[in-house]
């Protein structure tokens, strides 16, 4: 990994979790990248994004979004560029993040009269792309948080700001998820009233401060760093 003081591979936090919290199970490691993406989403601060593509399949009128999806650029279904369902629909709603379509595009479901029509349309809801085509190849061009392969774990992990409060937040988030899955820790508990031993309470208490700490970089600098990181490490 490139030695850059602003960004680090979040896989580093896995090793810190073992040392800081004396975790004796490895079951959580395969889920850790998705949990880290979820923690970043929960904080909802603006980050640097890179452009990515994914080839997938639409089955039964839908396709799951990539785990690292942060905003849509465009979608090609079959050989046709798909159109976002008409904004004149009364149930249409869209939000924007850094001028790209956000992951929470909500739209009215397609009914039987709109499916398989010549116009290829889609909407996004609850982590899925919904289309009016039952089955087809799909090409998704989207914005994502930069990621990097950790060779020891042989898994891709998101790159994160090397900010102490953010690192702590993500570790607490992972510990909370581990406990939610039934892991018994000798000290930590999600039912305790003390944030020192309840990671869920501490997460809530530090969330705003973490968000402020991570919003200190301007957009141009974030995007420039993302480009450097993703074009010089391979």
Mean pLDDT to the nearest integer, 97-125: 61
In this prediction, what percent of the chain has a pLDDT beyond 90? 58
Burial of 176 (0-12, 13-18, 19+ CB in 10 A): buried
Q: pLDDT, tens digit, for every residue of 120-131?
A: 999 998 889 999
Torsion from C-alpha of 21, 27, 33, 36, nearest 10 degrees: -40
Average pLDDT, the chain: 82
- Mean pLDDT lowest for which of 8-12, 95-99, 116-120? 95-99
Confidence of residue 203 (pLDDT cuts 50, 70, 90): very high
pLDDT at 221: 57
pLDDT at 91: 40
- Determine contact, residues 153/29, Cβ cutoff 8 Å: yes
pLDDT at 1: 40
Confidence of residue 86 (pLDDT cuts 50, 70, 90): low
pLDDT at 105: 52
Q: pLDDT, tens digit, for every residue of 133-180?
A: 999 999 999 998 889 999 999 999 999 988 999 999 999 999 999 999
- Determine contact, residues 144/40, Cβ cutoff 8 Å: no
Closest CA to 160 of 225, 75, 70: 225
pTM of the model: 0.69
DSSP 72-87: EEEEEETTEE-EEPPT
User: What value does the CA radius of gyration of the chain take, rounded to a whole number of Å?
Assistant: 20
pLDDT at 101: 45
pLDDT at 175: 97
CA atoms of 170 and 10, how far apart (whole Å): 9
């Amino acid at each position: 990994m490139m030695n850059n003081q602003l960004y680090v591979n979040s896989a580093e936090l896995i090793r810190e979790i073992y040392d800081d919290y004396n975790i004796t199970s490895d079951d959580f490691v395969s889920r850790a990248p998705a949990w880290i993406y979820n923690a970043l989403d929960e904080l909802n601060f603006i980050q640097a994004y890179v452009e990515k593509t994914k080839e997938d399949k639409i089955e039964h009128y839908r396709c799951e979004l990539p785990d690292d999806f942060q905003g849509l650029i465009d979608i090609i279904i079959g050989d046709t560029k798909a159109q976002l369902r008409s904004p004149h629909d009364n149930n249409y709603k869209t939000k924007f993040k850094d001028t790209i379509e956000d992951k929470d595009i909500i739209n009215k479901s397609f009914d039987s009269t709109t499916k398989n029509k010549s116009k290829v349309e889609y909407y996004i809801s609850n982590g899925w792309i919904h289309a009016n085509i039952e089955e087809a190849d799909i090409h998704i061009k989207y914005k994502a948080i930069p990621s990097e392969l950790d060779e020891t774990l042989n898994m891709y992990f998101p790159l994160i700001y090397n900010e102490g409060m953010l690192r702590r937040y993500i570790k607490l988030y992972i510990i909370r998820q581990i406990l939610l899955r039934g892991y018994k820790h000798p000290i930590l508990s999600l039912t305790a009233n003390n944030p020192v031993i309840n990671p869920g309470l501490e997460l809530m208490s530090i969330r705003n401060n973490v968000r402020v700490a991570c919003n200190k970089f301007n957009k141009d600098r974030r995007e420039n760093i993302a480009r450097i990181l993703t074009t010089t490490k391979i």
